Structure 1
Amino acid sequence: MSSKTRGRDMSRLLADFGHDLPAVPAPPEAVKEGRLFRHAPRRGARTRGRGWAPASAPVSTWRMTSDQAPVYWPFISSPGLPPTGAQMGIDVLSGGSFFADPLGWVLNDEISVTNPNIFSFGKPGRGKSATTKAFCLRMMDFGYRVLVIGDPKDEYEALCRFFGVEPFAIGQGLSTRINPLSFGPLLSDWESLPADQAQARAAIVFARWLTLVRGLVGSQRIGDRHVPFGPTEETVVQAALGYLTGYSKGSSRLRETTIPELWAALNDPTEELIRDCRYSGERQFLDDTRLLRDALAQLVKGALAGLFDDHTTIDVDWSAPIQSLSLSRLEPLGDEAVGVALTCLNSWGRGMREMSAPGDVRIVVRDESWKQLRLGPEAVKSFDADLRLSRSSGDIQFAVAHKPSDMLSAGDTGSQAVAIAKDLLHLADIKILHGQDLGVAEELEKMLGLGPLSRDVVTRWAMQGKGRALWCVGDQNYKVQTVLHPVEQDLTYTNEAIKGAA
């Protein structure tokens, strides 16, 4: 049908009467949005200035658990310790500085540290000595003083002379004498003390002496067994010391005694001593104390004769920033002689610190401590007592050894000495673990409770550079790279002998 026969449509009809329908709006033109992400080749865009590389970048693979990676970016841990104390180096995980403040950590309830003692383990050449000396040197700026109780390799002599302090050398033919039975500061003003205070001081002194004699006697051997030191021997020694010092007679002024005088008193006992020790006669006394007297005789006449058998001949300046007792002259006598010397020095040093003034904080360095532990259970108990007293004295006991299993060399497997030595690790809430061989990985996990990641830090990362260590502060671990100043590098260098022979 044509348009003429169809007629007009609605829009034409309305237009004839002056009404126009609104036009249909045209659809809007589609606008293409910009792309947020553009594909780029793995090696970059091959255009000038676009960073194209001929080889693709390596991909790092990280293995961790959900508690170790709560977020995926930026993989940076915040410093978990306050910036107080000695600035030791770089906290690798956070990129910030790492500060060590053992006493401050004890006082901070937010840090799980209950004692300031430190154990430092590491393979020789991994930076143990340098880290120890750097810690001591930097803590001096905060009022700490350093006491090196026995320096078997004379590693601290340069540090002493840097501060104008001449270290004391102990050895055969030298004039230095140390009396481990010294009263120390507790003897001062004894005459004016009330009876109860005098008794309290006497209890401290005699307990220290008994611990020493027990350790010295127990270091002697009968075949593969240590000389026993039981309640009978303790009663005899305490009674003899009471007579030699005048305490048993109620003297207002006590007299200092020595190990040779103790041995002589037991070798030629008085009737009063025999009666007080509840023996029927001199013959029974001498028979029952033969092992005790022979063990003391070895200390008086043996390899260490002339070292710890007389009154102290040195006057220690306790206000100096550092004091050290060098023992390298005893190395030819063997590890056992060095261990006995360390036991004597520990007792003497403990006595010197029994009345330290408030605020007189000191870092007590115990290098090659494993040599003392090998003397037997009594020597281990003496070392144990020193660690337990650190909280009351305010001292930081800093023990250095090669590896945790050195503690197990205190005796046979399952023995009392080994059990006590294992517990020593729990008396130090701070452990510095330098690089170790893979063979030590198992004992790191069993003895220290390290997980696989922390164990790999010690056996892998820490072995790739000197001064790297895993700092275990309570239940938190930190990867730390110790950074030394050029002056400190000279003071902490310990390879002079190797360098001279090369």
Structure 2
Amino acid sequence: MSAKKAKKQKISRKERKEKKAAERELRPIRPPMRGWIGRGRGQSVYVQQADEWRGTTVQVCGMWPYAIGTGTPMVGVPLGRHIHTGATLCCDPISWFQRAKLISNPSTFVLGKPGLGKSTIVRRMATGLAGYGVMPLVLGDLKPDYVDLIEAMGGQIITLGRGRGYLNVLDPGEATEAAAQLREAGHEKEAMQVMADAHGRRQTMVSALLTILRAAPPTDREETIIDRSLKWLDEHHDGVPVLGDLLRVIQEGPEEVRAVALDRGSDERYKAITESLEASLIGLTGGGRLGETFSRQTTNPMRRDAPVVYDVSAIDDSEMDLQAATLLACWSAGFGTVNVANALADAGLEPRRHYFVVLDELWRALRAGRGMVDRVDALTRLNRQRGVGMAMISHTMSDLLALPTEEDRMKARGFVERSGMVICGGLPAAEMPQLTAAVPFSEAEQELLIGWQDPPAWDPSTGREAEPPGRGKFLVKVGGRPGIPVDVQLTSIEKSINDTNRLWHEQSRVGRRAARSAQEVDA
């Protein structure tokens, strides 16, 4: 390279540097992120977080790389917002099983201390699923928490209780009519299956009522006698039988019943064999501890084409046995109706319907007596094959494990282990070992649940207690995946029909009106 050319490049490089320096002098000087550092300057210790907006993928795609995903599933019923990120969480057992393929079983188990919103989150799921065409079935509402919701949906409200309504446990429901339709359409095998299912359900309910009445299950011989007596009634009785008819058959002792009782041709032996069973059935039909709720014809048969709630709130909490028996009877009737609907749909005689079954206060039925866990287990094990989503609700794991035998406790824990998802609200620290034995929870998740069960603080400005810190907050767990903490947020319409403390609020309003009237009189 010649000396002249090298000198020219050196001059041009110098000119470029001078030009850049001139541009820097003309450019406005910007402070660093925290401002100018130093005495008399404007340094900021706290840097305000940037504003965030939410939108669909189509709306924010042009903002790359400043857009990020929500990180929470968006398939199903909108429950609320992620507590840490504010992202919307959509969650329900049917959508996560059928559409999102996130769980292998369309069921959820909800745990949490009273007053933190267990019924509220299930009502939100029921409301959203109804919009997807799924029928909510609340098989036993003890408070009631769901009556207003089902009424707002235009559903069926079935009231049960002493003197308020009756549920005949020997009523096959719509099974007889469905079997006739199936036979007319040439589905003889399906018709036989429907009737066999109805027979088994009736026998199971009679055995369950005897278990609650005796606090012990019936013997094998007694169950065989009940089975043969029910078959005899189906062949010889006109109309729908009741428990009194079953008692009369056992007392009279037809030849078929005597044969399975092994009376050896002796009346005295037959009476001795059936004496205990006869006494128990008299207690079920004569207004004993369980009253006449199950011994008369059903006052309001259940529909299969509309949302349904069994309102059993009239039964007092002191009548634990009657509550448990009524819950089991409602569950049996509900699942029997679902089986009929599925059989007709399989045969092409009705459109396919999916149901969202709510089993609230599960612990009451489990504690009714030895053997009740098996009855509940038989009802809840086949929900996937039946096309049914299920929500089981209880307070704590201690409720499920406070059973007399280790076998029953293991089966009750299986209800939680088999659930597709477990939703937990605030729980005490003593529950954590039992809970983590069924579902794995990290230490951070356990601390979160324990913090949510703390009592509410006193608000000096209003003179009342503030809301509990865990009200409406839940952790959604699916297997060993990290839990999703969500804050359930209700709309104004939902708040008007989801007030489980309405009686207290009405009493408070009456008290305030009385106080104002007294002040006016004094003035």
- Between the aligned partners of 1:46 and 1:284, the Cα distance in structure 2 is 105
Aligned length: 450
Matched, 1:420 2:428: no
CA contact (8 A) 2:70 2:88 kept: no
Partner residue in 2 for 1:84: 75
Alignment of 1:113-128 (within 5 A): 113-128=103-118
Matched, 1:495 2:501: yes
Gaps in structure 2 of 5+ consecutive residues: 25-29, 49-65, 346-350, 455-468, 509-523
Matched, 1:237 2:237: no
* Matching residue within 124, 139, 158 for 1:134: 124
CA contact (8 A) 2:113 2:453 kept: no
Matched, 1:304 2:309: no
**Compared with structure 1, are the counterparts of its residues 57 and 104 closer, same or farther at alpha carbon in structure 2 (3 Å cutoff)?**
closer
Partner residue in 2 for 1:444: 435
Matched, 1:185 2:190: no
Matched, 1:336 2:321: yes
Q: Which amino acid aligns with 1:233?
A: E
- Between the aligned partners of 1:91 and 1:433, the Cα distance in structure 2 is 15
Share of identical aligned residues, percent? 23
Shift of 1:386: 2.2
CA contact (8 A) 1:219 1:378 kept: no
Shift of 1:279: 1.9
Q: Which amino acid aligns with 2:490?
A: L
Larger CA Rg, structure 1 vs 2: 1
Q: Which amino acid aligns with 2:204?
A: T
Partner residue in 2 for 1:9: none
Matched, 1:256 2:240: yes
TM-score normalized by structure 1? 0.79
Shift of 1:371: 0.5
* Matching residue within 238, 251, 262 for 1:267: 251
**Compared with structure 1, are the counterparts of its residues 51 and 89 closer, same or farther at alpha carbon in structure 2 (3 Å cutoff)?**
farther
CA contact (8 A) 2:156 2:303 kept: no
Shift of 1:219: 1.7
**Compared with structure 1, are the counterparts of its residues 419 and 43 closer, same or farther at alpha carbon in structure 2 (3 Å cutoff)?**
same
CA contact (8 A) 1:387 1:427 kept: no
Shift of 1:92: 3.2
Q: Which amino acid aligns with 2:296?
A: D
CA contact (8 A) 1:168 1:325 kept: yes
Counting helix residues as a fraction of each chain, which structure ranks higher?
A: 2
- Between the aligned partners of 1:455 and 1:77, the Cα distance in structure 2 is 27
Partner residue in 2 for 1:149: 139
Per-residue CA deviations over 1:212-254 (Å, capped at 9, x if unaligned) read: 2222222233xxxx333232122111100000111xxxx7x98
Is the partner of 1:167 in helix, strand or coil?
strand
- Between the aligned partners of 1:122 and 1:165, the Cα distance in structure 2 is 28
Partner residue in 2 for 1:366: 359
**Compared with structure 1, are the counterparts of its residues 389 and 256 closer, same or farther at alpha carbon in structure 2 (3 Å cutoff)?**
farther
Shift of 1:462: 7.2
Alignment of 1:465-476 (within 5 A): 465-476=470-481
Per-residue CA deviations over 1:148-168 (Å, capped at 9, x if unaligned) read: 111111222221332344622
Partner residue in 1 for 2:422: 431
After TM superposition, the structure 1 stretch with the greater mean CA deviation from structure 2, 130-139 or 433-442, is 433-442
CA contact (8 A) 1:180 1:345 kept: no
CA contact (8 A) 2:439 2:480 kept: no
- Between the aligned partners of 1:104 and 1:349, the Cα distance in structure 2 is 22
TM-score normalized by structure 2? 0.76
The CA RMSD measured in Å over matched residues stands at 3.6
Partner residue in 1 for 2:398: 405
Shift of 1:348: 1.4
Per-residue CA deviations over 1:173-230 (Å, capped at 9, x if unaligned) read: 22x2211222123212645477644543333222222222222222233xxxx33323
Is the partner of 1:442 in helix, strand or coil?
helix
Is the partner of 2:315 in helix, strand or coil?
helix
Gaps in structure 1 of 5+ consecutive residues: 1-20, 59-73
